[in-house]
Structure 1
Amino acid sequence: MIWKTEHIDQNARSARYAIQQHISESKASRFGDELVVGIVGGGPKGFYALERLFMEMQSQQLTEPIRIYLFNETPDFASGPNYQVDQADYLLINYCIGNIDAWNREAINPEVKQQLNLTQWIEAHQIAGIKPEPTDYASRAVVGSYLQDQLKGLLASKPACAEVHFIVGKVSTISYEHGFHLQLENQHQTFQVDKLLLATGHCYSNASLLQNEKHLLEMPANYFARAYPVHKLDSIPAQASVGVVGLGLTFIDVALQLTEGRGGKFTDSGEYLPSGKEPRIVACSRTNVPILARGPVYGGNHYQLRPKTIQYFKQLAASTARQKIDFEEEIYPVLQQEAHFAYYSTLLQTSDIAAIKAYTDSLPTSQRFQLENLLFPSYAEYDAESNPVLTYIEANIEQARLGELQSPIMAAAAVWREATNWIADIYNHGGLTGESQRVLDKELWGAFCRTSFGPPVENMQKIIALAKAGVIQFSTEIWASMHYDTETAQFMWTNDQDQQSLSYLIDARIARGKLQQANAPLYSALLANGLIQPHSNERYQPGGPALDTDGRAISAPHIASPPLFFYGSPTEGVLLDNDSLSRKRNDMATPWAKHIVHYLIQTHKEIIHENYNGR
């Protein structure tokens, strides 16, 4: 079952109006001497941070006044851009609803009345007459409605001493002098806050795909450097030729927006019926290997690491206090061994090591499973007359339908997903050697994500249908260069075999932070002001700011570190894998909230002490 907005009652989806009312009531002025706290980024992570701050204040029974500013570029507080409530229902989440919970179950806030996970929320508000199962999927708009409804409930439990103001606007620059000064883009208004948390999500840009960019006076209007929000692609005319670079989750969103979003229909038999409004899509990536679909992953219906592998990773994590770990030498071989076991234990339906060894020993070396072949498959074995990309997707869908307990290749693909939490404990805060972290970040990370964190089968079936209908053409040759011809207003896409002329170009890659390349203006300003400095691990710089173990920025050597904290995507490179909806993984909101509450308590004690001594 895929839950869509049409399956949810209107009352549950009306939280956005309560949030809009809260926005309209927010004011920028500062009254009195209360502590002022700022959160830049009002999406899921900003919501989580606000909840943790409330929790800490209430658990310590604080009465000291505090003013909280929550900044977001759009009115989509709690949902953020990824889970906007007004986006199309064919844009899906890539994990089961049973894995989504907006609350920290290990430290529940007793002041909030209804703390529902997504499955419970859907069950409480569904109008389809169907009981939701944790293995169901949902549209991102449904998830956004859930997040906003839970934020509404949180605001109803606000501590009496707190004022919360939602500010719509893009924070463009931040400086520090007796507090942080935040300037909003295209606005004259400046906000001053004492403590600041940045939870800005994916705010980065990729380097241009165009080789002749420096010779252009300005970037062409028919070049989409970012795919989101996908509704902006509606400006592309029907029948236009469109190049899409990237074959991951963003590519799927782009393809569906340009087809189903224009009135095309998918039949139950797996065919696509065009509306006639579609453009012609040519898709490729750096490797031309698309993301793998996967079946539902929840509870015990998936592959799980062997206890000895988990214990090994725990031992490595414990040793990082004494020495750095080499990912290539000490982790990758264990992943290979685990993936090998996952593949053959699933194939033979036995965990007997001797039986597995006897079977694999009987195989020629060239036919034995290798993790590298999963991560970096070759199309050489495919029939020259078939499209290998299409054949690869079809084979993957067949395996994904079987599930990880029946499909050897899907069991092997699950190993990285299952190992991520344990490896993160080793990776975080420079636990790997600098060079091996670079190899993981730059050479392996994309392949691991492509194989382990793919979309539901339904979405890849749609991609197959679009390709068979001739709407999508998969390139089988690695593109060598892309140039823009100003005379013809066309993009020239060349490889070793031929050259294509395209009217539009869409960059469907997700950018990561690169301070060295100034691919996020706000962070470039922070770097210029000395408020942050690049994280460095043995001279390797992943691209994000240097942070301490609480997520606090380590400023330039000549500047005392101000109370500036980071949470979510901006911490990547220091921390591994910051899933946008996870409350458990890399939780920097809790230490930030504890820091603020501790400051308030200490300040209150100092005031009492001063008053006592002054009598």
Structure 2
Amino acid sequence: MSICVVGAGPRGTALVERIVANAPAERRIDVHVVDPYPPGGGHVWRPDQPGHLLMNTVAADTTLFTDRSVRCAGPPVPGPSLYEWASAVARAGDADPAAQDEAARTLPWSHPSRRFYGRYLAWVYDRVTAAAPERIAIHAHRTRAVALTEDAAGRQIVALEDGSGPLAVDAVILALGHTDLEPTPEQRAHGRFAAEHGLFYGPPANPLDTRSDAIPPGAAVLVRGLGMNFFDHMSLLTIGRGGRFEPAGDRLRYRPSGREPVLHAGSRRGVPYLARGDYGRMPPAFPARYFDAAAVARLREAGPADFASDVWPLIAKETAAVYYDVLLREQPGACAMPPERFRARFDALAWEDPAMTDLIAAAFPDPVVRLDFAALHRPLDSVPLDREPVHDTVEALVRADLAQARNAPRSPLKNAMTALGATRGRVRDLVAHGGLTGASHRRDLDGWFQGFAASVASGPPAGRVDELLALAGAGLVRFLGPDMIVTAGPAEGAFLGASPRTGAAPVAAPALLEAHLPPPDLGRTADPLLRRLRDGGACRPYRIPTPGGPAYETRGMDVEPGTFRVVDARGRAHPRRFALGIPIESVDWLTAMGAKPAANAAMLAQADAVARAALDPG
């Protein structure tokens, strides 16, 4: 038999490994892996990218191998985590001096470079292909799949962009990552305006694909977005242009090359993502007390939940419990009642109970030490930005956050945000395949919690925020403020960027960067394979029902629960077509989350289930 895996990044590599692990002993199997980028790292993690672009996950929390914690029907095949592999490389040596140097410096809690992770992924792929028995042939096709049809015998016909196909296979697994989208009307207008006036416009994309080297030195650049994509753009436009950071006491100083532009950055929140805590060891793991597996099971059994009323109170209480535990440990004098009394009352009360608010106010009379989720979400809302310099205000907030990150073991906030980040795995279990009502999924999960949790719990390493402050000190980053608006200025021949909260005059700039990745969106996809499947009725958007109200048509692709078979426009699951990863984000929330050792990684369990179904498509 034969299987085609479309996409050769981490998920595609995991699928190939699971196909090999589950393949029946008596059967010859051809596995075709289709991706224009090298197998293993794929597009995002390709090993030829600059070494200053970093992972958002620590080395010891990253693997692509099934250990015995992974609950799956297939056989586990253990292998080294990224950190364990780095240790082996450091001992054995590497022909690439940069890889050898990074391997020697990698600690369990290090944030490795993306290219180093790409080398690990390539090594995993090579190990799988080398260890595969002779009856399993793995073929890599360095091109794109552009169409998928079916012949009279039920064989799946995959057309390839370079004309080398077509591939006739028994089953197809779509393991695509982020794909390009058709531009929105605003993006089209910005693109036209830039072309007409000789300006630069970078639409939402992987920063490596934006061709930002075309931005002239010294030019003003409007950057819309202050999340992880922003930090990549920041690095490419500074370190990537020959600048360097050097120690200056307990801070960093930036030595410019003279080729940098000046970044004027804003976003809806107006502040960068919070820095990850620097614990000097692995981040702590907090046992779930309120929002645990039993709570998830109860909510699933009760029917579709409402996130705001059923789920968020449990997450908030889980997070606050860690916050006040650390606060009581580090600042016992801040509590106006015996700690044991506070803990007992806190444990007994529901988060949404008004008595909980009264308890916290009585125990901690100084409001500065209380946990304020609203202020974390929108920290500038209470600041009169029409009277206070917005750049200085944001810079002060960033500096205070970095101080917390550098003292993470003793920081109530950083420990609490680590705990909040950990709840997302349980949220994923709850909301999969319609665990929330459609209205709540749209309003609360997609509309708020996903972005909020990312901004406070999935930010950059503390060192990257230190670099941001050094660039601000050098005058190369300026903060514009919240609710950033960008318009075209024909009279000025420039893009105009401003925050309506500040009252300041717009900044005119010859360049605009949209510092965020395009979201998964089946309706707007520019990928030729997905577009043809959608237009031909071979796949459809996932819809989440709302009892007594309209369903929520998400932007993700619909797949069958458990098997991940692609569902067509008539609601039929195709027995020989499967999909995993970014395009099904709405079905499998937070699907971009990688595999963590000893944690029953969902990504690997799903890869195993799909591999087994593809090997026996029926």
TM-score (norm 1): 0.83
1:429 Cα shift?
A: 0.4
SS at match of 1:450: helix
Report if aligned partners of 1:346, 1:407 keep a CA contact under 8 Å in 2.
yes
CA distance in 1, matches of 2:539, 2:244: 49
SS at match of 1:156: helix
Give the one of 70, 73, 93 matched to 2:33.
70
Which residue in 2 is equivalent to 1:271?
Answer: 253
Q: Name the stretch that deviates more: 350-359 or 316-325.
A: 350-359
Which residue in 2 is equivalent to 1:361?
Answer: 362
Which residue in 1 is equivalent to 2:83?
Answer: 119
Which residue in 2 is equivalent to 1:409?
Answer: 413
1:380 Cα shift?
A: 3.4
1:425 Cα shift?
A: 1.4
Report if aligned partners of 1:324, 1:431 keep a CA contact under 8 Å in 2.
yes
1:482 Cα shift?
A: 2.1
Letter aligned with residue 50 of structure 2: A
Residues 162 and 111 of structure 1: CA distance in aligned 2, closer, same or farther (over 3 Å): farther
1:465 Cα shift?
A: 0.6
1:468 Cα shift?
A: 0.9
CA distance in 1, matches of 2:528, 2:193: 21
Letter aligned with residue 611 of structure 2: A
Q: How does 1:225-244 map to 2 (within 5 A)?
A: 225=203, 226-229=205-208, 232-244=211-223
Which residue in 2 is equivalent to 1:384?
Answer: 388
CA distance in 1, matches of 2:573, 2:65: 35
CA distance in 2, matches of 1:332, 1:276: 48
Residues 228 and 446 of structure 1: CA distance in aligned 2, closer, same or farther (over 3 Å): same
CA distance in 1, matches of 2:191, 2:56: 40
* Greater relative contact order structure (CA < 8 Å, 6+ sep): 2
Q: How does 1:165-314 map to 2 (within 5 A)?
A: 165-177=139-151, 178-185=154-161, 187=163, 189-205=165-181, 207-208=183-184, 210=186, 213=189, 216=192, 222-225=200-203, 226-229=205-208, 232-269=211-248, 270-296=252-278, 301-302=283-284, 304-310=286-292, 313-314=293-294
Give the one of 502, 526, 529 matched to 2:533.
526
Which residue in 1 is equivalent to 2:589?
Answer: 576
- When the two chains are superposed, the root-mean-square deviation of aligned CA atoms in Å is 3.0
Report if aligned partners of 1:171, 1:522 keep a CA contact under 8 Å in 2.
yes
Give the one of 456, 469, 482 matched to 1:451.
456
Residues 558 and 288 of structure 1: CA distance in aligned 2, closer, same or farther (over 3 Å): closer
Which residue in 2 is equivalent to 1:490?
Answer: 494
Which residue in 1 is equivalent to 2:16?
Answer: 50
Give the one of 547, 558, 563 matched to 1:546.
558
Give the one of 98, 110, 121 matched to 1:136.
110
Instruction: Give per-residue Cα distances to partners, 1:369-410, cap 9 Å, x unaligned.
Output: 23222222225348824622211111111111111x411111
Report if aligned partners of 1:56, 1:593 keep a CA contact under 8 Å in 2.
yes
CA distance in 1, matches of 2:85, 2:133: 24
Letter aligned with residue 45 of structure 1: R
Which residue in 1 is equivalent to 2:132?
Answer: 158
Which residue in 2 is equivalent to 1:81?
Answer: 43
Report if aligned partners of 1:239, 1:277 keep a CA contact under 8 Å in 2.
yes
Which residue in 2 is equivalent to 1:15?
Answer: none
Instruction: Give per-residue Cα distances to partners, 1:95-120, cap 9 Å, x unaligned.
Output: 211101121112799997x9322112
Give the one of 585, 596, 605 matched to 2:602.
585
Runs of 5+ unmatched residues, structure 1: 1-34, 603-615
Residues 192 and 201 of structure 1: CA distance in aligned 2, closer, same or farther (over 3 Å): same
Q: Name the stretch that deviates more: 476-485 or 292-301.
A: 292-301
Runs of 5+ unmatched residues, structure 2: 91-99, 333-337, 347-358, 546-550
1:207 Cα shift?
A: 4.7
CA distance in 1, matches of 2:200, 2:18: 43
SS at match of 2:173: strand
CA distance in 2, matches of 1:56, 1:577: 26
Which residue in 2 is equivalent to 1:344?
Answer: 324
Which residue in 2 is equivalent to 1:14?
Answer: none
Give the one of 326, 340, 351 matched to 2:306.
326
CA distance in 2, matches of 1:155, 1:321: 42
Report if aligned partners of 1:466, 1:472 keep a CA contact under 8 Å in 2.
yes
Residues 196 and 218 of structure 1: CA distance in aligned 2, closer, same or farther (over 3 Å): farther
Report if aligned partners of 1:292, 1:396 keep a CA contact under 8 Å in 2.
yes
Q: Name the stretch that deviates more: 167-176 or 263-272.
A: 167-176
CA distance in 1, matches of 2:278, 2:492: 47
CA distance in 2, matches of 1:546, 1:252: 33
Which residue in 1 is equivalent to 2:580?
Answer: 567
Report if aligned partners of 1:134, 1:298 keep a CA contact under 8 Å in 2.
no
Instruction: Give per-residue Cα distances to partners, 1:321-375, cap 9 Å, x unaligned.
Output: 4511111111111222222222221111189552356664144596542322222
CA distance in 1, matches of 2:300, 2:522: 26
Residues 217 and 413 of structure 1: CA distance in aligned 2, closer, same or farther (over 3 Å): closer
Which residue in 2 is equivalent to 1:17?
Answer: none
Instruction: Give per-residue Cα distances to partners, 1:120-176, cap 9 Å, x unaligned.
Output: 211111255957531222111111111111211111111221221111112233233
* 2:461 is aligned with 1:461: no
Report if aligned partners of 2:269, 2:380 keep a CA contact under 8 Å in 1.
no
Give identity over the alignment, percent. Answer: 24
Instruction: Give per-residue Cα distances to partners, 1:74-98, cap 9 Å, x unaligned.
Output: 2x21012222212121111122111
Q: Name the stretch that deviates more: 124-133 or 262-271.
A: 124-133
CA distance in 1, matches of 2:188, 2:106: 52
CA distance in 1, matches of 2:322, 2:280: 18
Q: Name the stretch that deviates more: 183-192 or 422-431.
A: 183-192
CA distance in 1, matches of 2:187, 2:55: 34
CA distance in 1, matches of 2:514, 2:191: 20
Instruction: Give per-residue Cα distances to partners, 1:530-583, cap 9 Å, x unaligned.
Output: 111111001112211111122111112186624211112122111121235316
SS at match of 1:573: coil
Q: Name the stretch that deviates more: 210-219 or 258-267.
A: 210-219
1:215 Cα shift?
A: 10
Which residue in 1 is equivalent to 2:56?
Answer: 94
Letter aligned with residue 64 of structure 2: A
1:521 Cα shift?
A: 4.3
Which residue in 1 is equivalent to 2:372?
Answer: 370
SS at match of 1:278: coil
1:208 Cα shift?
A: 4.2
Residues 206 and 441 of structure 1: CA distance in aligned 2, closer, same or farther (over 3 Å): farther
Residues 171 and 211 of structure 1: CA distance in aligned 2, closer, same or farther (over 3 Å): closer
* 2:419 is aligned with 1:419: no
Report if aligned partners of 2:10, 2:40 keep a CA contact under 8 Å in 1.
yes
Letter aligned with residue 380 of structure 2: S
Instruction: Give per-residue Cα distances to partners, 1:249-284, cap 9 Å, x unaligned.
Output: 111110111111111110112100111011111111
Report if aligned partners of 1:288, 1:476 keep a CA contact under 8 Å in 2.
yes
State the number of aligned residues: 557
Residues 79 and 597 of structure 1: CA distance in aligned 2, closer, same or farther (over 3 Å): same
Which residue in 1 is equivalent to 2:570?
Answer: 557
Which residue in 1 is equivalent to 2:119?
Answer: 145
Which residue in 1 is equivalent to 2:522?
Answer: 515
Residues 318 and 336 of structure 1: CA distance in aligned 2, closer, same or farther (over 3 Å): closer
SS at match of 1:553: strand
Which residue in 1 is equivalent to 2:95?
Answer: none
Letter aligned with residue 115 of structure 1: G
